[in-house]
Amino acid sequence: METLPHDWLPLLGLVFVLGIKHGFDPDHLATIDGLTRFNAADRRLARLCGFLFSLGHGVVVMAVAVSVGLLAAQWHAPEWLEDTGAWISIVFLLLLGALNLSAVLSTAPGQVVQPVGLKGRLLGRLQHTRHPALIALVGALFALSFDTLSQAALFSLTARGIGGWQYALLLGFTFMVGMMLTDGVNGLWISRLIRRSDQLACIVSRTMGLVVASLSLLVAGFGIAKYFSPAIDAWSDGKETALGFMLIAVVALSFLFAVRLARPAYATASLPENI
């Protein structure tokens, strides 16, 4: 778990970046991919799947942040909470990174790579819904996990040193806005790819699958290094916002590179056969 700054503006900025980064969670990407494809016949709903998912997810984060804020005067986080939260995140990132890398390598050329999630498998048929409220409910259920709840509690405990529960609510809302930005764009992108050529979808999905898998493994490795190396932990202190922006930039540039790489193939596939 990150050590958050106590100055208000840097804290808001970091929480916003953490929300954006949280939206890149492979579980989020896999579930939004499935929801968007399931609702492909309704273009308007398909485009909104990412926003609705993150809205439900964010409401739970805000509720937990406010609840902890109200109870913070009578409750102090146990020392084991930070280590437990860190290792749960590391293990999940390692599993998700390995599973998504395997998905990329095992998918035959010319086929779309489907992102792999762990929580989505537990929800099963709940993901096969065409109602906006149920899509938001799926996002809310995703928030009922130790890593998300512990992060929301961390926001609230940090806000306690600044003000009351209202500050915790604002931090939870800021986190949700950052997450909605990532998940919303992901849903829009998938809905657009569904209507584009198979060749474009194959190239972009394979590239982004490799990027997401690699970043998951790298972030997990960095977390392990921080835990066992005081020097690395000290070096990273105060650099959370910069590192978050770096991850976001890598994903954004990878997406642009994948689209550019796919253009020649898409243009060739679009030509009439007699040319």
Contact between 252 and 207 (Cβ < 8 Å) = no
Q: Which residues contact 222 (CB under 8 A, 6 or more apart)?
A: 232, 236
pLDDT for position 151: 75
Q: Whose CA is closest to 107, among 97, 119, 115?
A: 115
pLDDT for position 33: 85
Report which DSSP code applies to 116: -
pLDDT for position 5: 60
Contact between 33 and 115 (Cβ < 8 Å) = yes
* pLDDT tens per residue, range 70-127: 776 555 656 666 677 778 878 888 888 898 899 889 988 878 787 777 776 666 666 6
The stretches in the chain having pLDDT less than 70 are 1-6, 72-82, 120-127, 160-164, 195-198, 259, 261-275
The H or E element containing residue 137 is helix 132-142
pLDDT for position 3: 56
Q: Which residues contact 36 (CB under 8 A, 6 or more apart)?
A: 46, 49, 50, 187, 190, 191, 194
AA letter at 51: F
pLDDT for position 57: 92
pLDDT for position 271: 43
pLDDT for position 68: 77
pLDDT for position 120: 66
* Coil vs helix vs strand at 4: coil
pLDDT for position 270: 47
